Structure 1
Amino acid sequence: MDKSLFNSLKESLHEGIEFAKGDSTKGTLRNLTFKSLPELSEGEIKSIREETHLSAAAFASVLGVSVKTIEAWESGRSIPNGPSKRLLQMFKEKPEFTKEFIVS
């Protein structure tokens, strides 16, 4: 490893330790605010899937759930959990993002 890279990493580590000990001059603290998780109706979930132009099977694969789960969400028999809500929110805002998961 390059000595200058090593020294830079070493210095950063020491600064991180000092920051963790309470020395606020050794780092930057940011307060982040995130969008709240959406409450999605069965119609909205189906609309999100349709906007992605994916079948229920393909959409289930992208989300990492079963087709039966997609069907249950779209019929209102169950609701998505937190991580699924966040992904659905992302796909609602950017339907083209699902294309990132397709292997040609």
Structure 2
Amino acid sequence: MKENNWYTFLEGSKKLGKSHSYLYKSMKDRPELFKSTMIQKHGRIWLISDEGLNYIKKNTKKEGDRLRTAILKAVYKTNYHFVFTPFNLNIF
């Protein structure tokens, strides 16, 4: 069985090529990515395994990917122009 190497969140973030606080912020924003078998806490230090780093790398959005490309293409192809006006035009 392959032995897992463990890294602090700082080391893991740098290994992923991200900022030093990337894993801390990711864990706060999306805790569902961090399975209990992939992370450990020793005192105030969080550790993450190789398996955890690979899992996070595979399951996070890549830089430059657009979230709503299909929706944006549909909007740009329409011939209708949307104009938003206030409902109540009685100023006085």
Give TM-score scaled by structure 1 length.
0.29
Which protein has the bigger strand share? 2
Which protein has the bigger helix share? 1
